Structure 1
């Protein structure tokens, strides 16, 4: 019992006597397997996994680059590396190649990328960026690179993949350059597979000394090479994979283009069909409205019995349907061809709008009466008589005299668009003794066509406005005002 124990008055059990027999030692830790042992299976028929679990850093890098590539066009992975650790040899045309491989490989493989020490490890910031975002391993390019690359075998022994860009630098034109032998030596020394990888689309995504653009990236893994030390075979395998990726990308682009064209064509067809259906429905409704307006008669009172109407319009419609209306249009048209200043279309604008169904007949009467008045004016001109012609100017008469002298009876064909009254042409043609038959034919094709067309348009307008017939008195006020303004402009232009 020790002194403190005696002071406390407590008893301590006596220590056991030390035996001279030696205690058994702890079992020694197993030695780290050699690189060649990684190729041996853990169980019969099952290869060793590519790492004892996954590191959070590898998972974070994979997630980061997958998100970035998804936002910039997408990533497509074809094939897969073997389950055991391996050396991945790939073509190199962009800084985005590293991101594509880190996003394509599973995080449990914990891939490391061999990077140029003179570029990625110059300063602290760049060195930290390379290690944190790309799991970069520095390898010198100016000398000592073989030793640095051989040291990367420790990563393979730890169950990690090693990515090597065997060209040593980025390709500026997208071609695959000559391969160096570092990746082959590393795979041979470590006793692991050498797996070719083709990367396409990264040069479009981030070209050398260029800006980031949208592009779809594709990573294609090939089969392990039979001889890891064969550098030309590794380059040939990468070239084959690159060619396959480009052909598949072209086929995919063509299929997508064809699908988009088909989708656009379908959308256009659907839209055209919808528009055609709408237009057809509106035309049908318009036709029904026109038909309803044309079916109006004084006896039946019209099909729109509940539509508000005007007493003035009803009187004008009864006038148009009677003999008095036909006689009024005929007298108006005949007088205008001799001396009356207002064209026959004015009378049609009053009666055809009120009674659209009578528009064709009234227009035909106006044409016949106007031609009869033209023949009468022709006879007066041939006799040397000149009836009064209000709202005409000396310039109008001089122009018609010159036109008849140059073109004869055919000059009257220009009357509908010239603004010169028909009576001036009739009297001038008679005074010049042009052919009467040619004058009548030219008058019918020119003036007759205009009167017929205007009469039909006015009848159609009356049929379309059947629901607003109560505003017919306002129309009778507005139309003469507009007509007078237009007539004043025509007369002024010929003054």
Structure 2
């Protein structure tokens, strides 16, 4: 169940998606059809993820893995078998015979075997290490071509003993070496081919998206001015919550998230107070995407708690403009209401900015390249969340 074409398709989609989120994979060269042995340089556990993302499912790749390490515990065995398609091979004793016996049924069934001939992970930025001869012997004995693969950038994505960082990865597939030539080819020739295919200088960084570049060039005054207007507009009538601006801008510019959140909060406070004043004078502004129950809840909170009722808006999903309108209609004391609003709104914006700052430590390099996709996905998530809130308050 973990070795067929459907398992290969699921793994490919899983790792292609994850690698895209982590920075993306660029692929060069051509992967020949049919059974084959692939050999690649090895600097990171992310090498396997990148290969699974790059190889078409029809290859049905199986990755040679040390049986004494990856298969010594049940949970580890389950992970590498299910998510990677690892092929257990004993390192002790007759190592090559164990490799050949494990690979024979895979290649005989039209699949592919992936080997890291260095035997261990090397350091990023250093030359590819010495290759062992097992992959060449295997290709010759089982009559399949050997395909060199150069992997660049994975050492930065997931360094040895380091933490995951979003960066781009490049894979290049070289010309296949026919089985008939493998027996007379030295491991050094294959190592040199892999070294030539690997080029860390092209791995990262990807080009920044135009949307990200445009936003990065905006001055603090421009971003904060727009934030102030957004916060005020949402408090008056605009249906898109003010936190959306904080998240949208802060995700791409985490260093400016605090200043942006402050400007949005200031605009929101001004807008709430202005809305309450208008409502006192009988001016009722449009309140799109709100429900009668929301208005009843806001009036009930302000009757029960007075000006402090605005704090209940923080988590109940009722737009702040509804509380502003209710405060004006009920004649809630304006100064205390303004003071409580000046506490509640910045608190909400600070919470949004904190989330952005924490996530931004990891996601900022990804945002540089994938900012438009983030905006599209974020818009879809927000639209669904808004739909659920409106349904709740029907």
Q: Is contact 1:54–1:109 with CA below 8 Å preserved after alignment? A: no
Note closer, same or farther for the CA distance 1:210–1:108 as it changes in structure 2 (3 Å cut).
Answer: same
Offset at residue 149 of structure 1 (A): 1.0
- In the other structure, the counterpart of 2:329 is none
2:126 aligned with 1:126:
no
Pick from 219, 235, 250 the counterpart of residue 191 of structure 2.
235
Q: Which residue of 2 aligns with 1:168?
A: 119
> The residue matched to 1:162 in structure 2 has which SS?
strand
The structure whose RCO (Cα within 8 Å, separation 6+) is larger is 2
What's the RMSD between the two structures over aligned residues? 2.9
Is 1:217 matched up with 2:169? yes
CA shift for structure 1 position 173: 3.9
In our comparison, the structure showing a higher alpha carbon Rg is 1
Helix, strand or coil: the match of 2:149? Answer: strand
User: Are 1:248 and 2:180 an aligned pair?
Assistant: no
Tell me the equivalent position of 1:56: 6
Q: Which residue of 1 aligns with 2:92?
A: 142
2:105 corresponding residue in structure 1: 154
Once the two structures are TM-superposed, the CA of residue 126 in structure 1 deviates from its matched residue by 1.1
Name which of 180, 191, 194 aligns with 2:143. Answer: 191
1:43-442 alignment runs, 5 A limit: 55-151=5-101, 152-175=103-126, 176-225=128-177, 227-229=181-183, 230=185, 231-243=187-199, 246-249=200-203, 253=206, 256=207, 263=214
- Structure 2 CA distance for partners of 1:183 and 1:237, relative to 1, 3 Å: same
Post-superposition shift, 1:263?
4.4
CA distance 1:66–1:130, shift in 2 (3 Å): same
CA contact (8 A) 2:27 2:171 kept: yes
- Structure 1 residues 264 and 124 mapped into 2: Cα distance closer, same or farther (>3 Å)? closer
Q: Secondary structure at the match of 2:198?
A: helix
Q: For residue 83 of structure 1, give the secondary structure of its aligned residue in structure 2.
A: coil
TM-score by length of 2: 0.50
User: Which blocks of at least 5 consecutive residues in structure 2 are unaligned?
Assistant: 226-394
* CA displacement 1:403-440 (0-9 Å, x = unmatched): xxxxxxxxxxxxxxxxxxxxxxxxxxxxxxxxxxxxxx
Q: Deviations for 1:426-482, whole angstroms, at most 9, x for unmatched residues? A: xxxxxxxxxxxxxxxxxxxxxxxxxxxxxxxxxxxxxxxxxxxxxxxxxxxxxxxxx
Question: Residues 11-30 of structure 1 correspond to what in structure 2 (within 5 A)?
Answer: none
TM-score, with structure 1 as normaliser? 0.40
Given that residues 205 and 214 in structure 1 are in contact (C-alpha distance below 8 angstroms), is that contact kept between their aligned partners in structure 2?
yes
Question: What is the aligned length?
Answer: 217
Q: Secondary structure at the match of 1:234?
A: helix
Report the Cα distance in structure 1 between the residues aligned to 2:4 and 2:88, rounded to whole angstroms. 22
Q: Equivalent residue of 1:137, what SS?
A: strand
Q: 1:265 to 1:58 in 2, by over 3 A?
A: closer
Q: How far did residue 265 of structure 1 move?
A: 8.7
Offset, 1:89:
0.2
